[in-house]
Copies of this chain bind each other. A is one copy, B any other.
Amino acid sequence: MSSIRVALFEDNFHLRESLYFLIAAEADMECVGAFADCNGLKQNIVAAKPDVILMDIEMPGMNGIEAVAEIKQAFPGIPVLMQTIFQDDEHIFNALCAGASGYLLKSADPQQYLQAIRDVRQGGAPMSGPVARRVLELFQQTVKPESRNHYDLTQKEKEVLAELIEGKSFKMIADSLGISYETVRSHMKSIYNKLHVHSNTEAVIKALKERLV
């Protein structure tokens, strides 16, 4: 098995050098580029042909989050590992949404860096402990805690609700379900009763937040 080609983006000179030698010293990986900023990002990547990219978030000029978005667009196959001191929701969320495949806190020890590189190369998503936990929590809350609710909606009511959260009007729903406008309205009344809401909008919100469909 050939060695893992790692490219590095880190503005801090000392850290960049340290990581370079850390990686270079490993038998199963090599550092094919160490850059201080994202100038000429794409050209650098084309030239270096990395298997994995290690990307700092805080950098002068284009920051790591913008960079990962560009990389994912231009080279969707190359996993990007974020390294950062930030562990607030906003940074984690943005980096992962931008397409990062892993998120390391800089407190991680050298061996964890190396392990994470191997891990991401093999299809994993290495994340420092607290970050992984936050991701899980964000994930769990987007799905809503007290989900498993069920409001005893009938089949037809669910269908109507499903159409509703497509943004359709009653008329359009009537049309696409092949029933009359008045029937749709009738189902809506019933849905309102069961969900304890009093408008289209509230029903949609509840349905989306609680994944009722």
Contact = CB atoms under 8 A, between A and B. Distances in A.
Given A167-B202, A167-B205, 14 more contacts: A96-B140, A97-B140, A97-B143, A101-B136, A123-B130, A124-B130, A125-B135, A125-B136, A126-B129, A135-B135, A138-B139, A142-B143, A164-B201, A201-B201
A156 B152 CA distance: 38
A132 B69 CA distance: 20
B201 A167 contact: yes
Interface of A: 69, 96-99, 101, 119, 122-130, 132-133, 135-136, 138-140, 142-143, 147-148, 164-167, 169, 197, 199-202, 204-205, 208-209
A182 B201 CA distance: 19
A68 to B, nearest CB: 12
Given A127-B132, A204-B204, A96 B139 contact: yes
* Majority secondary structure of chain A interface residues (helix, strand, loop or mixed): helix
**Identical subunits present:** 2
Contact of A125 (B133, B201, B209): B133
Contacts of A128: 124
Contacts of A119: 129
Nearest to A125: B132
Contacts of A138: 139
Contact of A124 (B69, B98, B129, B199): B129
A204 B205 CA distance: 7
Contacts of A136: 96, 101, 125, 135
B165 A205 contact: yes
Across the A-B interface, the 6 shortest Cβ-Cβ residue pairs:
A124-B129, A125-B132, A167-B202, A125-B133, A125-B136, A97-B143
A197 B140 CA distance: 29
A69 B147 CA distance: 11
A201 B202 CA distance: 9
